[in-house]
Amino acid sequence: MKRLICLAAGCLLCAGLNCAAQPEAEPVLPNIVFILADDLGYGDLGCFGAADIKTPHIDRICEEGMKFTDFHVHPRCSPTRAAFLTGSYANRTGVSRVIYLEDTFGLNDDEMTIPELLKTAGCRTGMVGKWHVGSREPFFPQHHGFDYSFMKTEMIDRERFEKDGFIVQPNGKKKYPAVDSYLENGTLYGTVAEMPEKTKLYTEHAVQFIAENKDRPFFLYFAHNLPHIPLEPSEAFRGTSGRGQYGDCVQELDWSVGEVLKTLDELNLTENTLVIFCSDNGPQLQYQAEVTGGSAGPLRDGKWSSFEGGTRTPFIARWPKKIQPGTECSDLIGIIDMLPTFCALTGAKVPADRVIDGVDISASLFGESKDHPPRETFACFDGGGCYAFRYRQWKLFIRDEESSGTNAQGVKTGPVKAGSLFDMAGDAAETRDVSAEHPEFVEQIQKMAEQFLAEFKATVRDAGRME
C-alpha cells in the first residue's frame, strides 16, 4: 500500500487594519506543464544551434525563459521516465532498462510519484502521450497518481498471436505480435489504424486537459513519441525541414508545443504556468544509411551511451515574472531534480521514508544559484550500472564505455576505458582524456563514486512485478 502523505495547510499573512476580519487567503499554486520529447538531440533545436530544423515555438520558451546547458537524463527511454516520476535514479527503482510488451514488470506501486505528491497540494494531474514504465494495466498512469491519462501503448494482437505465437525478428529475437492502441483513463479509445496522426491526437487531448482545468492548479505531463522511430511525420509536415523525415518530425513536435502555448495564452494561464521542455535521452544518430537521424550538436555520441551526447539534452523553462527571460544557466542538473523542485514550488512534501536522488533546483530556475549550485555530483547510470560519475566540472568513467554511433558533426567517437577523465568546463565533447594530468581528481572522484555506489546498493528498491 502506498504511504499516505499529509500536507499541512498553508496560509498567507495579511496586512492592513482589517486583517483580523479578513478570511485567510489561499496560496496561489503554479500550473506545471512538462513536455518530454523522445530521442531529441542536443543539436536539434534552433535555440541549441540547429540551422536545418525550424523550431520557433520551442525557441519562444527559450527566449521568454531560461536555457540550461548541462541537463542530464538516462540514455534510454523507460529509465528516464521512471527517474522523472520518482525523483530517483531509475536503477534505484528497478526500472533500469527499456520495458517491452512481453515484460511483466513496471514502476512499483509503492513508489511515490510527482502526480501523487502534487495532488496533496491540490493540483489536478494529467498525462498525455507515451507512458513506457509498464506495459501491463497494473502499471498504467491511473495507478500512479494521474487523475486523467491519454496514452499510447502496445496490445497483443490475439488473432496473430494464436495463429503464429511469437514472431521471430531478423535479429533472432522473439516478440509478441502487437497493435498500437490508445487508452483514455485505462479504456480503449482506438487503434493506430483508426487514429493515424498521433501527435495531433495527443495535442488535442493535452489542450483539452488544460482547458478543463483552467480554474484550478494543474500538472500536465505531455510525453511525445516524436522524433523516435519510426519516422512518421503527418502529411502537413512532410518535406518541410532541411533534414528529411527526422527534421519534419521535430517541426511537427514544435507545432504541438505551439498549440500548448497558444492555449495557455488564450486562457490567460501563461503568467502562472511553469513550462518545461526537454528530451528523454540523446539522439539515435543514424537510422539507416539513407536516413538522417538526430544530432548531438557539439557533444560526443548519442543514445544508449554515457557520453554527453547520450545523457545531456536540451532543457528550457519559462515562468513569466519568475524566470528571467533570455537567460542561460550552466548548473549541473538532471531529470531526477524535477520531483523535489515541483514539490518546493507547490508546497508538497518530498517523501522522507526513502532515498530521493533529486534536489530542489528552484534557485537555478530563478537565477539565484551562482555561488551555491544545487548539486555537485551526478551518476551516469545505464542498464548495466553506473558508467561515469560527475563531480563539478569533472567527469570520470568508472567503467569501459562503448560508442553507439557517429555524431553528425564529426565529434570524436569510439570507446573509452575506465579511469578516463574529462573536463566538462572546456571539453564537453569529451575529446581529451586528462587523467594523466590530474591523477588527484581521478583518485578523489573514484573514492566518491565508490562510496556513493556502496550506499546506493544498500537502498535499491524493487520494480513492481505481476504475480
* pLDDT tens column, 309-332: 999 999 999 999 999 999 999 999
Q: Which three cell numbers stand for residue 452?
A: 556513493
- Residue 118 pLDDT greater than 80, yes or no: yes
Q: How confident is the model at residue 191 (pLDDT cuts 50, 70, 90)?
A: confident
Q: How confident is the model at residue 16 (pLDDT cuts 50, 70, 90)?
A: very low
Give the pLDDT confidence score for residue 12 in this predicted structure: 33
- Residue 464 pLDDT greater than 70, yes or no: yes
Q: Which amino acid is at 372?
A: H
Q: How confident is the model at residue 287 (pLDDT cuts 50, 70, 90)?
A: low
Peptide bond into 230 cis (omega under 30): yes
Domains of the chain (ranges; CATH) run 27-365 (3.40.720.10), 377-461 (3.30.1120.10)
What distance in Å separates the CA atoms of residue 271 and residue 361, rounded to the nearest whole number?
A: 20
317: β partners: 66, 276
Pick from 31, 34, 57, 27: nearest CA to 45: 57
Backbone angles phi, psi at 249, to 5 degrees: -65, -40
Peptide bond into 227 cis (omega under 30): yes
Average predicted confidence (pLDDT) for the chain: 90
Give the pLDDT confidence score for residue 358 in this predicted structure: 98
Q: Specify whether the backbone of 239 is left (phi greater than 0), alpha (psi in -120 to 50) or beta.
A: left
Pick from 311, 304, 329, 315: nearest CA to 403: 304
- Residue 357 pLDDT greater than 60, yes or no: yes
Higher pLDDT, 106 or 406: 106
- Residue 29 pLDDT greater than 80, yes or no: yes
Percent of the chain with pLDDT over 70: 87
Residues in the chain: 467
Lowest mean pLDDT among 57-66, 117-126, 279-288: 279-288
Q: Which three cell numbers stand for residue 133?
A: 514504465
Q: Which amino acid is at 458?
A: A
DSSP state of 127: E
Backbone angles phi, psi at 465, to 5 degrees: -135, 145
Give the pLDDT confidence score for residue 447 in this predicted structure: 98
What average pLDDT does range 265-286 have in this prediction? 95
- Residue 2 pLDDT greater than 60, yes or no: no
- Residue 5 pLDDT greater than 90, yes or no: no
Q: How confident is the model at residue 154 (pLDDT cuts 50, 70, 90)?
A: confident
Percent of the chain with pLDDT over 90: 78
Give the pLDDT confidence score for residue 117 in this predicted structure: 98
CB within 8 Å of 59: residues ≥ 6 apart? 45, 46, 47
Backbone angles phi, psi at 130, to 5 degrees: -85, 125
Q: Which amino acid is at 437?
A: E
What average pLDDT does range 62-66 have in this prediction? 98
What distance in Å separates the CA atoms of residue 270 and residue 282, rounded to the nearest whole number?
A: 29
By CB atoms closer than 10 A (0-12, 13-18, 19+), residue 118 is buried
Lowest mean pLDDT among 190-194, 197-201, 355-359, 428-432: 190-194
Backbone angles phi, psi at 160, to 5 degrees: -70, -35
If you write DSSP's letter for every residue of 284-303 in order, what string do you get? --EEETTEE----TTSS--T
- Residue 443 pLDDT greater than 70, yes or no: yes
- Chain-centre distance of CA 176, in angstroms? 28
DSSP state of 143: G
Cite the active site residues. Answer: 77, 132
Q: Count other C-beta atoms under 10 Å from residue 459's C-beta.
A: 11
Pick from 99, 69, 125: nearest CA to 364: 69
- Residue 17 pLDDT greater than 60, yes or no: no
8 A C-beta contact, residue 354 and residue 108: no
By CB atoms closer than 10 A (0-12, 13-18, 19+), residue 52 is middle
What distance in Å separates the CA atoms of residue 30 and residue 220, rounded to the nearest whole number?
A: 12
Query: In angstroms, what is the C-alpha Rg of the chain?
Result: 22
- Residue 269 pLDDT greater than 80, yes or no: yes
- Chain-centre distance of CA 37, in angstroms? 8
What average pLDDT does range 43-63 have in this prediction? 97
